């Protein structure tokens, strides 16, 4: 199969929000005690999980959770509640951490992200970044000059659709001007990203491991599908 376009998920695929000890060092629980390492790790997992509900929520916040990647206001509202229910009861601490989490310059690229973006674009294959996200991730690419290798950013909060809904995949494909059968979706979620198959795309799964533990999964996925 000859692919004319590759779509990449963002979080856990080409970039990852790595745990930064300086962000969490001053977080305290209801008793004023610092969060231990296990609690910090679980907190980061909850803030970056691509699918699934991570805490029990009331009806108001449950609505915000299900629509968080369509609306930045709902995203902020529900994640501050998630932090509160995850052992960060102090509003000022929660806001400070949330602000860091949605700063795209704080995210870490996987070791092979640059090579993959350059390699795919260099072969004349169109590149799209397709993400369920409630903030603009373009600066994560532009500050490194990598936006030059991306033809389209399709972000859920801008287009009003989220994976696994077929509309968001169709939007990306239409913007790139390719057929679904000529498109490969690469992502870390079988449920969300794998839904690209429903509109006729191929799919390659990568694991959302820490960046130090996943040096070349993107390269491997594209080589397996004969893109590189």
Domains in the chain, please, with CATH? 5-16+107-225 (3.40.50.1000), 21-105 (no CATH)
Is this structure's pTM higher than 0.75?
Answer: yes
Beta carbons of 143 and 111 less than 8 angstroms apart: no
pLDDT score of 7? 98
In the prediction, which pLDDT does 48 show?
64
pLDDT at 109: 98
The pLDDT value given to residue 21: 67
Output the six-digit token pair for 84.
């509160």
Would you state the structure tokens that stand for residue 38, as one six-digit string? 């296990």
How big is the chain, counted in residues? 228
Helices (H), the chain: 21-24, 37-48, 59-66, 72-85, 91-101, 113-122, 138-142, 156-159, 166-176, 217-224
Rounded Cα distance between 201 and 113, Å, is 21
Q: Write down the residue that tokens 């449950």 correspond to.
A: 62
Q: What are the pLDDT tens digits along the chain (228 aa)?
A: 799 999 999 999 999 988 666 766 666 666 677 766 666 667 776 666 655 666 788 999 999 999 999 999 999 999 898 888 877 777 888 888 888 889 999 899 999 999 999 999 999 999 999 999 999 999 999 999 999 999 999 999 999 999 999 999 999 999 999 999 999 999 999 999 999 999 999 999 999 999 999 999 999 999 999 999
> Quick one: how far is CA 75 from the chain centroid?
14
């Amino acid at each position: 199969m000859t692919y004319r376009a590759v779509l990449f998920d963002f979080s856990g695929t080409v970039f990852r929000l790595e745990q930064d000890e300086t962000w969490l060092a001053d977080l305290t629980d209801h008793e004023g005690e610092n969060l231990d390492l296990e609690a910090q790790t679980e907190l980061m997992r909850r803030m970056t999980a691509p699918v699934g509900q991570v805490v029990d929520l009331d009806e108001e916040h449950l609505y915000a959770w299900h629509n968080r990647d369509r609306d930045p206001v709902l995203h902020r509202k529900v994640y501050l509640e998630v932090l509160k229910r995850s052992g960060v009861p102090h509003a000022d601490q929660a806001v400070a951490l949330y602000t860091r989490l949605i700063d795209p310059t704080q995210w870490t690229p996987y070791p092979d992200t640059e090579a993959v973006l350059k390699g795919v674009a260099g072969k004349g294959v169109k590149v799209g970044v397709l993400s369920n996200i409630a903030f603009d991730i373009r600066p994560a690419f532009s500050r490194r000059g990598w936006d030059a290798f991306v033809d389209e950013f399709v972000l859920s909060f801008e287009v009003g659709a989220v994976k696994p809904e077929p509309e968001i995949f169709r939007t990306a494909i239409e913007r790139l001007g390719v057929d679904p059968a000529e498109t490969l979706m690469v992502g870390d979620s079988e449920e969300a990203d794998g839904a690209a198959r429903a509109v006729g795309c191929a799919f390659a799964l990568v694991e959302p491991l820490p960046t130090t533990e996943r040096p070349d999964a993107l390269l491997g996925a594209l080589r397996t599908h004969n893109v590189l």
